[in-house]
């Protein structure tokens, strides 16, 4: 399956997807990386892997929807059939979310529905939870909501800092994201109502 990946930053999840796609039997191919930030290190990762990339600066557009339409045009012309958000720090318009209904997934560094939005690891530390984690889910118009494909739990240690917890959660993100995409490509994820069921 041909996929496009949307990024804004360092792109370690993008790297995990690039590495997975390089494995012989992995059923996805990244055909386009889009970043809304020209200095995102993820762009270097894409270039190193010879993946076409585009910078589309949201500030160049009068509205969220105009920005999204420009991304949509690039995604369509790349031949991508599926979109992965990987540290993409823009809210998408309802138009884009509808356009890519059930063909758009996101990764979030908490066990949703807890700790939506930015700084999820800090939110977890501030709340004193003993377990947090990550979630891969289909995108819906509400931020950080939608049918959950996979989650992994990560223990919070007494001496954790935001950095140490973030690193431990990221390890699980990389595993969950690549595994979720594999299941989707293999048609093993069925959406029933607003529940994603994993087929054997
Ligand atoms: C990850 O924690 C992801 O869950 C969140 O943003 C971060 C991106 O990290 N949405 P990276 O750019 O993939 O390294």
Could you report the per-residue pLDDT of 63-98, keeping only the tens digit for each?
Answer: 999 999 999 999 999 999 999 999 999 999 999 999
Give pLDDT, residue 116. Answer: 98
Cα-to-centroid distance, 29 and ligand 1 (Å): 20
Are the C-beta atoms of residues 103 and 85 closer than 8 Å to each other?
no
25-37 mean pLDDT: 98
Helix boundaries (H) for the chain: 12-21, 41-48, 64-78, 94-99, 120-127, 162-185
Are the C-beta atoms of residues 120 and 109 closer than 8 Å to each other?
yes
Taking CA atoms only, the protein residue closest to ligand 1 atom 1 is 87
32-55 mean pLDDT: 98
Are the C-beta atoms of residues 110 and 30 closer than 8 Å to each other?
no
Q: Each residue of 128-142: pLDDT tens digit?
A: 999 999 999 999 999
Mean pLDDT score across all residues of the chain: 98
Q: Kindly state the tokens that stand for 83.
A: 């979109």
- Is residue 108 among the annotated active site residues? yes
């Amino acid at each position: 399956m041909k996929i496009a990946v949307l990024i804004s930053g360092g792109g370690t999840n993008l790297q995990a997807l690039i590495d997975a796609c390089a494995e012989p039997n992995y059923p996805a191919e990244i055909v386009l990386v889009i970043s809304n930030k020209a200095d995102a290190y993820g762009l270097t990762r894409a270039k190193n892997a010879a993946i076409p990339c585009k910078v589309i600066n949201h500030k160049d557009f009068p509205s969220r929807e105009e920005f999204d339409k420009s991304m949509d045009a690039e995604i369509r012309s790349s031949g991508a059939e599926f979109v992965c958000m990987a540290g993409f720090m823009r809210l998408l318009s309802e138009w884009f979310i509808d356009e890519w209904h059930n063909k758009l997934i996101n990764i979030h560094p908490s066990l949703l529905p807890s700790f939506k939005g930015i700084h999820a690891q800090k939110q977890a530390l501030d709340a004193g939870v003993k377990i947090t984690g990550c979630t891969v889910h289909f995108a819906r118009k509400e931020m950080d909501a939608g049918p959950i494909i996979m989650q992994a739990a990560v223990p919070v240690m007494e001496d954790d800092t935001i950095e140490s917890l973030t690193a431990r959660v990221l390890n699980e993100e990389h595993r969950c994201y690549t595994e979720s995409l594999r299941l989707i490509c293999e048609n093993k994820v069925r959406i029933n109502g607003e529940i994603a069921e994993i087929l054997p």
